Structure 1
Amino acid sequence: MTLLKAKSILSKDFRIGRASDRLFGSFVEHMGSVVYNGIYEPDHEAADEDGFRKDVLELVRELKLSVVRYPGGNFSSGYNWEDGVGPKERRPVKLDLAWRQVEPNSFGLDEFMRWTGKVGADAIMTVNLGTRGIDEARNLLEYCNFPGGSQYSDLRRSHGVRDPYKIKTWCLGNELDGEWQIARKTADEYGRLACETAKAMKWVDPDIELVAVGSSARHMPTFPEWDRTVLMHTYEHVEQLSLHHYIGKRENDTPTFLAMPLEMEQQIKDVIATCDYVQSVKRSSKRMKLSFDEWNVWREPDVPYTPWQTGCPYDWVKFHMEDALVFGSALLSILRHADRIDIACQSLLVNTIPMILTNKGGAAWRNPTFYPFLHASRYGRGEVLRLETESPKYDTKLYTDVAKVDSVAVWNEEKGELTVFAVNRSEESIAYELDIRDFGNVSFAEHLVMNHERLDAVNTADNQGEVRPRAGGTTTLNGGRAESVLPPYSWNVVRFNVQSA
Structure 2
Amino acid sequence: MARAHLSVGADFTAGTVPPRLFGSFVEHMGRGVYTGIFEPGHPSADERGFRGDVLDRVREIGPTVVRYPGGNYVSGHNWEDGIGPVADRPRRLDLAWRTIETNEFGLHEFVHWARAAGTEPMMAINLGTRGVQEALDLVEYANHPGGTAWSDLRRRNGDEDPFGIRLWCLGNEMDGPWQVGHKTAAEYGRLAAEAGRAMRLVDPSIELVACGSSHSAMPTFGEWERTVLELAYDQVDYISAHTYYEETDGPGEFLAKAVDMDSYIESVVATADAVRARGRHRKRIHVSFDEWNVWYQSRHRSGGIHQQTDDWAVAPRVIEDEYSVTDAVVVATMLHALLRHGERVRIACQAQLVNVIGMVRSEPGGAAWTQTVAHPFRVMREHARGQILDVRARGDHYDAGRLGDAPVVDAAGTWDPDGGTLALFLANRDLTEPAEVRIALHGFGELRPGRAEVLTAGPGQDRHTGNNETAPEAVGMRPLDGVRIEGGEVSVTLPPLSWAAVPLDVI
For the aligned pair, the TM-score class normalised by the smaller chain equals: over 0.9
Q: Classify 1:75/1:284 alpha carbon distance in 2 versus 1 (closer, same or farther; 3 Å).
A: same
Q: Secondary structure at the match of 1:135?
A: helix
The answer for the alignment partner of 1:464 in structure 2 is 472
1:390 Cα deviation (Å)? 1.1
Q: Classify 1:309/1:233 alpha carbon distance in 2 versus 1 (closer, same or farther; 3 Å).
A: same
2:269 paired with 1:272: yes
The answer for the alignment partner of 2:353 in structure 1 is 349
1:302 Cα deviation (Å)? 8.5
Q: Secondary structure at the match of 2:264?
A: helix
The answer for the alignment partner of 1:333 in structure 2 is 337
The answer for the alignment partner of 1:490 in structure 2 is 498
Residues 437 and 479 of structure 1 are in contact (CA less than 8 Å); yes or no, is this contact kept in structure 2?
A: no
1:256 Cα deviation (Å)? 1.0
Matched letter for residue 409 of structure 1: G
Correspondences of 1:109-188 after superposition (within 5 Å): 109-188=107-186
2:369 paired with 1:365: yes
1:438 Cα deviation (Å)? 2.0
Matched letter for residue 262 of structure 2: E
Residues 375 and 477 of structure 2 are in contact (CA less than 8 Å); yes or no, is this contact kept in structure 1?
A: yes
1:80 Cα deviation (Å)? 0.3
Once the two structures are superposed, residues 49-101 of structure 1 have per-residue CA deviations (whole angstroms, 9 ceiling, x without a partner) of 10010000000001222110000000000000000001001000111000111
Once the two structures are superposed, residues 11-32 of structure 1 have per-residue CA deviations (whole angstroms, 9 ceiling, x without a partner) of 0111111111000110000000
1:284 Cα deviation (Å)? 1.1
Correspondences of 1:90-489 after superposition (within 5 Å): 90-251=88-249, 253-299=250-296, 307-426=311-430, 427-452=432-457, 453-489=461-497
1:437 Cα deviation (Å)? 4.0
Residues 2 and 408 of structure 2 are in contact (CA less than 8 Å); yes or no, is this contact kept in structure 1?
A: no
Once the two structures are superposed, residues 273-299 of structure 1 have per-residue CA deviations (whole angstroms, 9 ceiling, x without a partner) of 100110011011111111001011112
Mapped to 2, the partners of 1:437 and 1:385 lie a distance apart of 11
Residues 326 and 464 of structure 2 are in contact (CA less than 8 Å); yes or no, is this contact kept in structure 1?
A: yes
Mapped to 2, the partners of 1:345 and 1:396 lie a distance apart of 26
Q: Secondary structure at the match of 1:263?
A: helix
Mapped to 2, the partners of 1:232 and 1:52 lie a distance apart of 42
Mapped to 2, the partners of 1:111 and 1:46 lie a distance apart of 17
Matched letter for residue 403 of structure 2: Y
The answer for the alignment partner of 2:49 in structure 1 is 51
Out of 435-444 and 222-231, give the one that drifted further.
435-444
1:498 Cα deviation (Å)? 1.7
Residues 432 and 485 of structure 1 are in contact (CA less than 8 Å); yes or no, is this contact kept in structure 2?
A: yes
Q: Secondary structure at the match of 1:398?
A: helix
Mapped to 1, the partners of 2:160 and 2:199 lie a distance apart of 21
Q: Classify 1:38/1:306 alpha carbon distance in 2 versus 1 (closer, same or farther; 3 Å).
A: farther
The answer for the alignment partner of 2:304 in structure 1 is none
Q: Secondary structure at the match of 1:8?
A: strand
1:43 Cα deviation (Å)? 1.9
Q: Which runs of 5+ in 1 are unaligned?
A: none
1:399 Cα deviation (Å)? 2.5
Q: Classify 1:358/1:306 alpha carbon distance in 2 versus 1 (closer, same or farther; 3 Å).
A: farther
Q: Secondary structure at the match of 1:343?
A: strand
Out of 478-487 and 177-186, give the one that drifted further.
478-487
Mapped to 2, the partners of 1:119 and 1:181 lie a distance apart of 30
Q: Which runs of 5+ in 2 are unaligned?
A: 302-306
The answer for the alignment partner of 1:76 in structure 2 is 74
Q: Secondary structure at the match of 2:415?
A: strand
Matched letter for residue 416 of structure 2: N
Q: Secondary structure at the match of 1:126?
A: strand
| TM norm structure 1 | 0.97
Residues 260 and 403 of structure 2 are in contact (CA less than 8 Å); yes or no, is this contact kept in structure 1?
A: no
Mapped to 1, the partners of 2:176 and 2:300 lie a distance apart of 26
1:306 Cα deviation (Å)? 6.1
In percent, how many aligned pairs have the same letter? 44
Matched letter for residue 431 of structure 1: E
Residues 387 and 409 of structure 1 are in contact (CA less than 8 Å); yes or no, is this contact kept in structure 2?
A: yes
1:445 Cα deviation (Å)? 0.7
Mapped to 2, the partners of 1:63 and 1:208 lie a distance apart of 26
Mapped to 2, the partners of 1:138 and 1:296 lie a distance apart of 32
1:241 Cα deviation (Å)? 0.5
Q: Classify 1:334/1:106 alpha carbon distance in 2 versus 1 (closer, same or farther; 3 Å).
A: same
Q: Secondary structure at the match of 2:161?
A: coil
Matched letter for residue 465 of structure 1: E
Once the two structures are superposed, residues 329-369 of structure 1 have per-residue CA deviations (whole angstroms, 9 ceiling, x without a partner) of 11110000011011000100000111001111111001100
| Alignment RMSD | 1.3
